[in-house]
Amino acid sequence: MTFIPASEKILDIGNPDRELSYSQAIQEAMALAMEADPRVILMGEDIGTYGGAFQVTGDLIHRFGEDRVMDTPISELGGAGVAVGAALTGLRPIFEFQFSDFATLAMEQIVNQAAKLRYMLGGAVSVPLVMRFPAGSGTGAAAQHSQSLEAWLAHVPGLKVVQPATPYDAKGLLLAAIADPDPVMIFEHKLLYKMKGAVPEGHYTVPLDKAEIRRAGRDLTIVATSIMVHRALDAAAALAEEGIEAEVIDLRSLRPIDTATIVQSVKRTHRLLCVYEGVKTLGIGAEVSAAIAESEAFDFLDAPIARLGGAEAPLPYNPELEKASVPQVPDIIVSALALAQGRL
Amino acid sequence: MQDMVEASSASPDIIPDISPGLIGNLPEIYRRLSRPALHEALRKMQLVRRFEENAEQAYMRGLIHGTMHLSIGQEASAIGVCVALTDRDYITSTHRGHGHCIGKGAEIGRMFAEFFGRETGYCRGRGGSMHIADPSKGNLGANGIVGGGIPIAVGAALSAKRLGTGAVSLSFFGDGASNEGAFHEALNMASIWKLPVIFICENNQYGMSTSTERSMAVKNVADRAASYGMPGVIVDGNRFAEVAAASFDAVERARRGDGPTLIECKTYRIRGHSRSDRNRYRTKEEIESWQERDPIKLFQTELRNYGLIEDSEIASIQTSVEEEIKAGLQFASDSPLPSTMDVTRDVYTSV
């Protein structure tokens, strides 16, 4: 496990030679995989000439042609099914949903087919499929274009579910997902697409089953996902000025979940705060909390476990309402202070 | 039959041995398929029938749990379609898929073993009746979700086209599935990408208890092909020759790169939808009228009338089917059960 000194900022992780944005890092991963393996194809709505709703596929159609950068009709269910069938029979499709919310239109193929085919058929097949989901709020797109549904899919055995928080991880997790024989669901945060960070050139992978400690600390553990990792790091910097050292763990993988890293951290810090954008109830924080409650770390707890998650409401349009619906840096500071100062 | 693509000329050396007076009326398919191939098709139709009858009996005797969906009365569509395919071609099948599996070369013993929940079954006892698959023969699996296999078959056709394997992909589904969004999305994509895929609708008149009259505003499922710019062909699904002829034509069209075809086989399911069916939605007379058009009897009679089979050959086919069923049941009951320790095996290829 790499410990990142508290003074280092998240952007400094990895090879410092070059910076790319999160979306450029994803695009580079796809291009590398497509160059290396003719079986890799991209499918999705408006990913060709348009370049994707968030310009993640960009100009790839000019490099690889429309046979490998395939615009699908607006048919999420059928398109996902075609990707499943292609993965079963020799291709390595990367399927882009325009918004993660549209996974709801394709749940049948994701949950009943992609996730279960290998098991249902007694191990006779694999489904090497990658699905990319632009997720999260903060763009003013309201309730049907802002959700964080990763916990839904993380509830399904047979799928792997990851949430990259940095450009480095966005590339490394995607390359790992493409190489993986099983269906991997990647939830990308829309507000991170423009974020820049160090990204090494060439091929590398980030494991699909390991959390990462982004900042070491002794007073409490903050387990965060996706954009909340950055908010937790900002909160941790403010807490440090109050003399409270928060350890920030980027959970990174929701299925499988890296319980060992969390348990070891909580045994050191004795306090746990979970921060995630998905709706709080029955979200990933519930699983992290339960993992601690069921582990030897339970006896080390000096305070109740705390969770900060999305509001119990659809995402609203008004910017202030929208912000109020998901954890912000001040919310994390307040909760962490209460936890560290024994007020919980 | 409507909308038949042009007939290919039969090569003289495979013209079967038939009564000279009948040769003028001989359906083209009986010239295209050799006499042994026709006998094998008849044998497979009987094998499907006897497999299902024996599975039903085993269920009644408590040897099989869960549920099953029998295709008794639909054997001509399953075997008539599969006769046009090779092992490298793909199929996706349905919850009523035993005939498709046998048509695509599944072993009876491993199928029974799956029903019996044994480790030697096609799914090692994890899938049961609704999930039998054999990727080594191109069978990508039966499916418990109505319409679930249709886009998957389109994906297999995409692979075949992209990888240049020359394979075609074929999806079986029922009239009920043609009301699912997956059907419409899949046909549209197959057509715009001109993929080598064939859509086989086995219209057995009912989606569970709901008749096609009550669930579709058009008369035929094949009418829906027009929306997707592909040929829609209607055949008598109880006549092997009609099904096989349309399937060969559609497979050739797909292999030529001319794109997909939708074939509607008008047929009937003699048994109920599943074990829970009390047959309240149809009349005894209706069922009996279809029983009179039993596809196995029709095929057998036709072969006999054209002088393509002797009674002694029919008898020996029946004997071989019974032996295969008996051996299959024995294999299944002798096979080991899965260990409960392995309940999470094969969830992932690797973790």
- Rounded to whole angstroms, how far apart are CA atoms A301 and A263? 11
Q: Is A299 exposed, middle or buried (0-12, 13-18, 19+ CB in 10 A)?
A: exposed
Q: Residue A123 and residue B160: Cβ atoms within 8 Å?
A: no
The H or E element containing residue B144 is none
ipTM exceeds 0.90, yes or no: yes
Q: Which residues of A touch B106 (CB under 8 A)?
A: none
Q: Which residues of A touch B348 (CB under 8 A)?
A: 118, 158, 160, 182
A321-327 long-range contacts, Cβ below 8 Å, gap at least 24? Answer: A322/A137, A322/A138, A322/A140, A322/A146, A323/A138, A325/A137, A326/A137, A326/A138, A326/A277, A327/A228, A327/A231, A327/A275, A327/A276, A327/A277
For B195, B238, B295, the CA distances from B71, given in Å and listed in that order, are 29, 12, 12
- Rounded to whole angstroms, how far apart are CA atoms A92 and A77? 18
Most B-contacting residue of A66, A77, A82, A108 (CB-CB within 10 A), to test interface? A82
Catalytic residue among A45, A76, A96, A287: A76
Q: Which domains does chain A have, with CATH numbers?
A: 13-198 (3.40.50.970), 212-340 (3.40.50.920)
Task: Verify cis geometry, omega within 30 degrees of 0, for the bond prior to A183.
Answer: no
Is residue B76 one of the residues assigned to a domain? Answer: yes
Q: Which residues of A touch B152 (CB under 8 A)?
A: 81-82, 84-85, 88, 109, 113
Is residue B222 one of the residues assigned to a domain? Answer: yes
CA closest to A209 among chain B residues: B351
Q: What is the pLDDT of residue A12?
A: 45
Out of B145, B185, B346, closest to residue A118 by CB: B346
Catalytic residue among A145, A189, A230, A270: A145
Q: Residue B150 and residue A81: Cβ atoms within 8 Å?
A: yes
Q: Which pLDDT tens digit goes with each residue over A224-282?
A: 999 999 999 999 999 999 999 999 999 999 999 999 999 999 999 999 999 999 999 99
pLDDT band at A16 (very low <50, low <70, confident <90, very high): low
Q: Which pLDDT tens digit goes with each residue over A27-45?
A: 999 999 999 999 999 999 9
Q: Which residues of A touch B181 (CB under 8 A)?
A: 77-78
Q: Residue A84 and residue B127: Cβ atoms within 8 Å?
A: no
A200 touches chain B (CB under 8 A): no
Q: Residue B140 and residue A89: Cβ atoms within 8 Å?
A: yes
Strand extents, DSSP E, chain B: 90-92, 169-174, 197-203, 206-207, 210-211, 232-236, 261-266
Per the annotation, the verdict on A145 as an active-site residue is: yes
Most A-contacting residue of B89, B129, B139, B159 (CB-CB within 10 A), to test interface? B159
Q: Which pLDDT tens digit goes with each residue over A65-110?
A: 999 999 999 999 999 999 999 999 999 999 999 999 999 999 999 9
DSSP annotation of B273 reads: S
Q: What is the pLDDT of residue B253?
A: 98
Q: Which domain holds residue B55?
A: 35-274+282-330
Q: Residue B145 and residue A73: Cβ atoms within 8 Å?
A: no
Is residue B7 one of the residues assigned to a domain? Answer: no
Give the minimum alpha-carbon distance from A70 to chain B in angstroms, rounded to a whole number. 10
Out of B124, B189, B351, closest to residue A82 by CB: B189
B154 touches chain A (CB under 8 A): yes
B171 touches chain A (CB under 8 A): no
- Rounded to whole angstroms, how far apart are CA atoms A213 and B4? 66
Give the minimum alpha-carbon distance from B123 to chain A in angstroms, rounded to a whole number. 4
B343 touches chain A (CB under 8 A): no
Dig out the tokens for A328 from the structure: 């912000």
Q: What is the pLDDT of residue B190?
A: 98
B155 touches chain A (CB under 8 A): yes
- Rounded to whole angstroms, how far apart are CA atoms A338 and A306? 10
Q: What is the pLDDT of residue B12?
A: 39
The H or E element containing residue B184 is helix B181-192
Q: Which residues of B touch A81 (CB under 8 A)?
A: 148, 150-152, 154-155, 182, 185-186
Q: Residue A77 and residue B125: Cβ atoms within 8 Å?
A: no
Q: Residue B151 and residue A67: Cβ atoms within 8 Å?
A: no
CA closest to A124 among chain B residues: B135
Q: Which residues of B touch A89 (CB under 8 A)?
A: 90, 140, 155-156, 159-160
Q: Residue A85 and residue B151: Cβ atoms within 8 Å?
A: yes
Q: Residue B350 and residue A181: Cβ atoms within 8 Å?
A: yes
For residues B110 and B96, the answer to whether their CB atoms sit within 8 Å is no
Helix residue spans in B193-283 (DSSP H):
212-215, 240-255
Ranges A10-14, A334-338, B176-180: which has the least confidence: A10-14
Is residue B127 one of the residues assigned to a domain? Answer: yes
Q: Residues 6 or more apart from A254 whose CB is under 8 A from it?
A: A150, A151, A154, A161, A162, A163, A225, A284, A287
DSSP annotation of A6 reads: T
For residues B36 and B270, the answer to whether their CB atoms sit within 8 Å is no
DSSP annotation of B243 reads: H
- Per-residue pLDDT tens listing for chain B (351 residues): 444 433 343 343 444 455 555 556 788 899 999 999 999 999 999 999 999 999 999 999 998 988 899 999 999 999 999 999 999 999 999 999 999 999 999 999 999 999 999 999 999 999 999 999 999 999 999 999 999 999 999 999 999 999 999 999 999 999 999 999 999 999 999 999 999 999 999 999 999 999 999 999 999 999 999 999 999 999 999 999 999 999 999 999 999 999 999 999 999 999 998 878 888 899 999 999 999 999 999 999 999 999 999 999 999 999 999 999 999 999 999 999 999 999 999 999 974
For residue B310, the one-letter residue type is E
Cα dihedral across residues B118, B120, B122, B126: positive or negative:
positive
Q: Kindly report the number of other CB atoms within 10 A of residue A108's CB atom.
A: 20
B232 touches chain A (CB under 8 A): no
Q: What is the pLDDT of residue A234?
A: 98
Out of B127, B150, B155, closest to residue A121 by CB: B127
Q: Residue B151 and residue A124: Cβ atoms within 8 Å?
A: no
**Averaged pLDDT of chain A:** 95
Give the minimum alpha-carbon distance from A156 to chain B in angstroms, rounded to a whole number. 10
Give the minimum alpha-carbon distance from B258 to chain A in angstroms, rounded to a whole number. 17
| CATH number for the domain harbouring residue B103 | 3.40.50.970
B255 touches chain A (CB under 8 A): no
Out of A89, A108, A182, closest to residue B159 by CB: A89
Per the annotation, the verdict on A76 as an active-site residue is: yes
Q: Residue B159 and residue A86: Cβ atoms within 8 Å?
A: yes
CA closest to B338 among chain A residues: A122
Out of B159, B182, B347, closest to residue A78 by CB: B182
Q: Residues 6 or more apart from A46 whose CB is under 8 A from it?
A: A52, A53, A71, A98
pLDDT band at A9 (very low <50, low <70, confident <90, very high): very low
Quick one: what percent of chain A has pLDDT higher than 90? 94
Number of helices (H) and strands (E), helices first, in chain B? Answer: 12, 7
Q: Give me the residues of B, 99-128, that contact A with CB < 8 A.
A: 121-127
Is residue B322 one of the residues assigned to a domain? Answer: yes
For residues B171 and B201, the answer to whether their CB atoms sit within 8 Å is no
Q: What is the pLDDT of residue B25?
A: 76
Q: What is the pLDDT of residue B9?
A: 39
Cα dihedral across residues A228, A230, A233, A239: positive or negative:
negative
Is residue B258 one of the residues assigned to a domain? Answer: yes
Out of A108, A119, A180, closest to residue B346 by CB: A119
B185 touches chain A (CB under 8 A): yes
Q: What is the pLDDT of residue B19?
A: 55
Strand extents, DSSP E, B9-130: 90-92
For residues A187 and A252, the answer to whether their CB atoms sit within 8 Å is no
Out of B181, B348, B350, closest to residue A77 by CB: B181
Domain count within chain B = 1
Q: Is B283 exposed, middle or buried (0-12, 13-18, 19+ CB in 10 A)?
A: exposed
Is residue B122 one of the residues assigned to a domain? Answer: yes
Q: Which pLDDT tens digit goes with each residue over A274-321?
A: 999 999 999 999 999 999 999 999 999 999 999 999 999 999 999 999
Q: Residue A108 and residue B192: Cβ atoms within 8 Å?
A: no
Number of helices (H) and strands (E), helices first, in chain A? Answer: 12, 14
- Rounded to whole angstroms, how far apart are CA atoms A327 and A311? 9
Quick one: what percent of chain A has pLDDT higher than 70? 95
Is residue B346 one of the residues assigned to a domain? Answer: no
For residue A344, the one-letter residue type is L
Give the minimum alpha-carbon distance from A61 to chain B in angstroms, rounded to a whole number. 16
Dig out the tokens for B121 from the structure: 């079954």
Q: Residue B140 and residue A125: Cβ atoms within 8 Å?
A: yes
